[in-house]
Structure 1
Amino acid sequence: MAAAQAMSSARRHFRSLELVLGVLLAGGMTLAVLFSGLLFPDGGESMDLMARLTPPFQSLAHPLGTDPLGRDVLARVIVGGKISLTVGVFSVLGAVTLGTFIGLVAGYYRGITEILLMRFADIQLALPFILLAIMFLAILGTGVDKIIFFMIVAQWVQYARLVRGSVLSLRDREFILSARAIGVGNGRIILTHILPNVLGPIIILMTLQVANNILLESSLTFLGLGVDPLIPSWGGMLADGRTYLQTAWWVSVFPGLAIMFTVLGLNLLGDWLRDLLDPTGQTSK
């Protein structure tokens, strides 16, 4: 009976509308970006001044129209997604690695180690993100690598606090005390007993944070603090098209829709993962 209920619950999860829409939106955009080099070998840089500002859906050669330089908007949207997704994924991987390590150390060893690490985290949380970004990028310069490094430095705190809280609830549980009693070392306890039990919340936060970082990268690029304006990116396309909103709305609208659908898909996948990994926290539907 229990096995049948578990199978029924698993089928319900994998038929969830959140999963289907999340995979279609985020997965479809990711696949398009991964194969952008095959779809658009020119990288969206080919110019046709005779076809500049062609409206969307009026030409098979430019289904989403062209920008002020005659470049294909569809090609630039798909190619530009490479920057946003790269920043979103790698910044989260770096932040989760650093934050998880610090959270495990602070939560398990406690004492002066925890006090120093957590007070440093509190100080960083008190700094306004946009002011920190302006100062950081003004000193080091702009670029994809700089943005990724900045986001890692700015966001490890969230993972550290999450992991520390989970470790505090686990470190005095019976299975941890039993491992200590039979002589298992601290390092092995952390890696084999504690870390696997905190992965669920980390994975959920990672999924949601990728979506958030795509928005942040687009916002920083829109403000002129992101990637080189010559490199196609969603934020850069929004910035380029803002002066043409009344005459050529498609130059900004389609990059904005790409951001919206990708972030929506990732958020839906994050909600689905939360329900899958933490069924006790589900809301009734």
Structure 2
Amino acid sequence: MAAAQAVPSSRRRFRSMEFVIGLLFAGTMTLAVLFSGFLFPDGGESMDLMARLVPPFTDPAHILGTDPLGRDVLARVVVGGRISLMVGVLSVLGAVVVGTLVGLVAGYYRGVAEVFLMRFADVQLALPFILLAIMFLAILGTGIDKIIFFMIVAQWVQYARLVRGSVLALRDREFILSARAIGVGNGRIIFHHILPNVLGPIVILMTLNVATNILLESSLTFLGLGVDPLIPSWGGMLADGRTYLQSAWWVSVFPGLAIMVTVLGLNLLGDWLRDLLDPLGQTNK
């Protein structure tokens, strides 16, 4: 009996630790980015060629050191997070709207609509992401708006398949059949009865996909397919510092740490949400 009680208790503590650490990591980075305009009014663009490549923790004016142009690394890391978080959040919101609508229609109405939409989704899933990104951005050009649009196009399929599966499990439940029997319209059934019951998995996937999209944006920018190099971003800082890894490691290491901390925090929050909203599907920890 004591052992049986100890296991759930330890799981609750672990889930709580996931929440605390995830909120600490992701929340700290998010707050720093949101208030970056007050913390660093110059936007991390002030240059001091007399203070080029100052090592970290040696100058109180530049706690994390400076880059090859004498710009403060801490300021650029905080300011650069605005691009990564904006791309991650906006692209996920767009993919959620498109994918959820497609999944609701395909799962509820079935028939030709389901076959057409899901086969189109299968074709898109078969396309390699990196090659698709290179082709897409090479044709339309680079830029924040184009990266967000591409991520929406590339990721709506995940939400469509998730929502469709959930709708298929719900459409023949008693409360849906009762709503139909009393004459409730399809639109009201979909948005007032089915959609609230599929929001849990959607929220979990959103949290995890924001972290994924931050990595994707940084990767594309590192490859030169992302945002303008003149705009501070984590991927751009990694690309700028790769030639200084031996002589000035901090130029790349601290943006990399910012990416790692943010993504780790979001993944931990996603795991905590999964256990909270889907207790039947939680894993042993």
1:66 aligns with 2:63: no
CA 1:59 to 1:20, structure 2 compared with 1: closer, same or farther past 3 Å? same
Deviation at 1:282, TM superposition (A): 1.9
Encode CA deviations 1:149-173: one digit per residue, 9 max, x unaligned: 0000110000000000000011011
Q: Which of structure 1's runs of 4+ aligned residues deviate more than 3 A?
A: 12-15
Instruction: Specify the alignment match of 1:151 in structure 2.
Output: 151
Corresponding letter in the other structure for 2:34: L
Does structure 2 retain, via aligned residues, the 8 Å contact 1:221–1:227? yes
Deviation at 1:209, TM superposition (A): 0.1
Corresponding letter in the other structure for 1:176: I
1:92 and 1:147 mapped to 2: Cα distance? 12
Deviation at 1:280, TM superposition (A): 1.4
Instruction: Specify the alignment match of 1:240 in structure 2.
Output: 240
Encode CA deviations 1:129-153: one digit per residue, 9 max, x unaligned: 0111011111111111110000001
Unaligned runs of 5+ in 1: 1-7
Does structure 2 retain, via aligned residues, the 8 Å contact 1:13–1:276? no
Matches within 5 A, 1:1-285: 12=12, 16-285=16-285
Encode CA deviations 1:173-231: one digit per residue, 9 max, x unaligned: 11111110110000000011100110000000000000000000000000000000000
Does structure 1 retain, via aligned residues, the 8 Å contact 2:15–2:272? no
1:13 and 1:144 mapped to 2: Cα distance? 40
1:15 and 1:98 mapped to 2: Cα distance? 31
Corresponding letter in the other structure for 1:127: L
1:178 and 1:236 mapped to 2: Cα distance? 55
Does structure 2 retain, via aligned residues, the 8 Å contact 1:43–1:75? yes
2:42 and 2:192 mapped to 1: Cα distance? 48
Deviation at 1:284, TM superposition (A): 3.1
Unaligned runs of 5+ in 2: 1-7
Deviation at 1:13, TM superposition (A): 7.2
Does structure 2 retain, via aligned residues, the 8 Å contact 1:142–1:226? yes
Does structure 2 retain, via aligned residues, the 8 Å contact 1:32–1:78? yes
TM-score (norm 1): 0.95
Does structure 2 retain, via aligned residues, the 8 Å contact 1:103–1:163? yes
Deviation at 1:283, TM superposition (A): 2.4
How many residues of Structure 1 are paired with residues of Structure 2 in the alignment?
278
1:282 and 1:176 mapped to 2: Cα distance? 27
Deviation at 1:102, TM superposition (A): 0.2
2:146 and 2:109 mapped to 1: Cα distance? 33
Percentage of matched positions with identical amino acids: 86
1:204 and 1:282 mapped to 2: Cα distance? 12
Instruction: Specify the alignment match of 2:3 in structure 1.
Output: none
Query: What root-mean-square deviation, in Å, do the aligned CA atoms of Structure 1 and Structure 2 show?
Result: 1.6
Encode CA deviations 1:246-270: one digit per residue, 9 max, x unaligned: 0000000000000000000000000
Does structure 2 retain, via aligned residues, the 8 Å contact 1:200–1:277? yes
Secondary structure of the residue that 2:146 maps to in structure 1?
helix
Secondary structure of the residue that 1:16 maps to in structure 2?
helix
Instruction: Specify the alignment match of 1:3 in structure 2.
Output: none
TM-score (norm 2): 0.95
Secondary structure of the residue that 1:64 maps to in structure 2?
coil
Corresponding letter in the other structure for 2:80: G
Corresponding letter in the other structure for 2:277: L
2:13 and 2:88 mapped to 1: Cα distance? 26
1:13 and 1:234 mapped to 2: Cα distance? 33
CA 1:97 to 1:275, structure 2 compared with 1: closer, same or farther past 3 Å? same
Corresponding letter in the other structure for 1:128: P
Corresponding letter in the other structure for 1:269: L
